[in-house]
């Protein structure tokens, strides 16, 4: 056997499994989206039906709002936590471990625990906030249309900022010490080090992590589904949940497939724009 085919043999089993689970279903989605229940070709009927539904644009904006809002705070808090955890202090190891906890626990556990804490009558958050005088009376955080989305974003930020923190921390730890030494010779203070050494040096890590966060954000059904199922009145309905509902609650696989195709296309465009935008501004910090 020459080297050429030996390598392929090693790689092949994994590729076959992934092809079966990824390539085939993706192709099949395309087919489903242009046919009806009986498998007859119907052109773009499914697409126009889905686009005509009132929930679709609403879900689209909710998704953007949820993903965008989550990512901004995940990156800001995650980076801040990483800089903090890169300082020298007693007990740093244990604080680092504890910081990872929200990321490790099952999403469903995070969702139910926070739902209980945000409970209108018996929740600890209403109690603490009314007690501290932040709000005059208990708020129905998860039933009120204007508070439910920010609350879900906050829970999502809590769940994933630790991931940003460990990745950025790893980046911070790999910054060579001469950079700090040089800055110190020039009399730089802590904040100047943050903005002129740390952030530029971990930029590539932040970029990679943000891309992952975008993808995970577009996938994040668990927290919203477990807490609100898209309600109240579709205020937290995001596209993945709409697809799920179309497929498994209305059992309309063809329309669900059409929505999947559009969702996939939009996700792909967002990812490409993001990569292009970053590639074209190499010098910019953050």
Partner 1 sequence: MSEAPTLKRTGLPLPITIIGAIVLVFICLFPFMWMFGSSIKTLPELYTVPPIWWPETPTFGNYYKVLFESNIPRYFLNSVIISVGSTVLALILAIFASYGFARFNFRGKPVLQSFVLVGQLLPTAAIIVPLFITLRVLGLVNTFWGLILVYMIVTLPLSVWMLTSYFKAIPVELEEAAIIDGASRIGILFRITLPLSTPGIVAVVVYAFVTTWNEFVFALCFATDSSVKTLPIGLAEFSTEFNTDWGAVMAASVVMTLPIALLFFSMQRLFVGGLTAGATKG
# of chain residues touching partner 1 (CB under 8 A):
102
Asked if 240 is part of the footprint of partner 1 (rule: CB under 8 A), the reply reads yes
Asked if 61 is part of the footprint of partner 1 (rule: CB under 8 A), the reply reads no
Asked if 182 is part of the footprint of partner 1 (rule: CB under 8 A), the reply reads no
CA distance 154 to 66: 10
Residues with Cβ < 8 Å from 270, sequence gap 6 or more?
Answer: 214
Asked if 253 is part of the footprint of partner 1 (rule: CB under 8 A), the reply reads yes
Residues with Cβ < 8 Å from 177, sequence gap 6 or more?
Answer: none
Q: Within 13 Å of residue 83, how many CA atoms lie on the same side as its CB?
A: 16
100 vs 277, beta carbon nearer partner 1:
100
| Region for residue 87 given its phi and psi (left: phi exceeds 0; alpha: psi -120 to 50; beta: otherwise) | beta
Given 45, 56, 119, 147, the residue binding partner 1 (CB under 8 A): 119
Enter the tokens of residue 201: 């040096």
Given 50, 81, 153, 213, the residue binding partner 1 (CB under 8 A): 81
Asked if 215 is part of the footprint of partner 1 (rule: CB under 8 A), the reply reads yes
Strand-pair partners of 35: 41
Q: Is the peptide bond before 232 cis (omega within 30 degrees of 0)?
A: yes
105 vs 285, beta carbon nearer partner 1:
105
Q: Are 147 and 203 in contact (CB under 8 A)?
A: no
- CA 68 to chain centroid, in Å, comes to 9
Mark residues 10-49: x for contact with partner 1 by CB under 8 A, - for none. xx-xxx-xx-xxx-xxx-xx--x-----------------
Given 89, 134, 146, 249, the residue binding partner 1 (CB under 8 A): 89
Asked if 269 is part of the footprint of partner 1 (rule: CB under 8 A), the reply reads no
* Binding to partner 1, residues 123-152 (CB under 8 A): 123-124, 127, 131
* Binding to partner 1, residues 185-204 (CB under 8 A): 188-190, 193, 204
């Amino acid at each position: 056997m020459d080297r050429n085919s030996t390598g392929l043999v090693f790689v092949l089993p994994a590729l076959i499994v992934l092809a079966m689970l990824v390539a085939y279903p993706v192709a099949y989605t395309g087919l489903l989206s242009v046919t009806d229940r009986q498998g007859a070709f119907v052109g773009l009927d499914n697409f126009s039906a889905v686009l005509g539904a009132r929930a679709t644009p609403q879900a689209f904006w909710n998704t953007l709002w949820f993903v965008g809002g989550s990512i901004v705070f995940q990156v800001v808090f995650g980076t801040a936590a990483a800089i903090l955890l890169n300082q020298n202090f007693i007990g740093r190891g244990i604080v680092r471990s504890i910081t990872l906890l929200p990321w490790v626990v099952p999403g469903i556990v995070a969702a139910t625990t926070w739902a209980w804490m945000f409970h209108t009558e018996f929740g600890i958050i209403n109690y603490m906030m009314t007690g501290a005088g932040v709000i005059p009376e208990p708020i129905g955080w998860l039933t009120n249309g204007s508070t439910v989305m920010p609350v879900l974003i906050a829970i999502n930020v809590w769940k994933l900022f630790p991931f940003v923190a460990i990745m950025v921390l790893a980046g911070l730890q790999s910054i060579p010490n001469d950079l700090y030494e040089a800055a110190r010779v020039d009399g730089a203070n802590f904040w100047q080090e943050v903005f002129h050494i740390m952030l530029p040096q971990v930029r590539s890590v932040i970029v990679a992590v943000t891309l992952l966060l975008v993808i995970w954000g577009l996938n994040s059904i668990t927290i919203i589904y477990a807490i609100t199922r898209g309600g109240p009145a579709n205020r937290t309905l995001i596209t993945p949940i709409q697809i799920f509902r179309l497929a498994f609650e209305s059992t309309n696989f063809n329309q669900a497939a059409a929505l999947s195709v559009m969702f996939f296309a939009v996700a792909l465009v967002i990812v490409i724009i993001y990569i292009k935008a970053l590639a074209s501004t190499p010098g910019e910090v953050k």
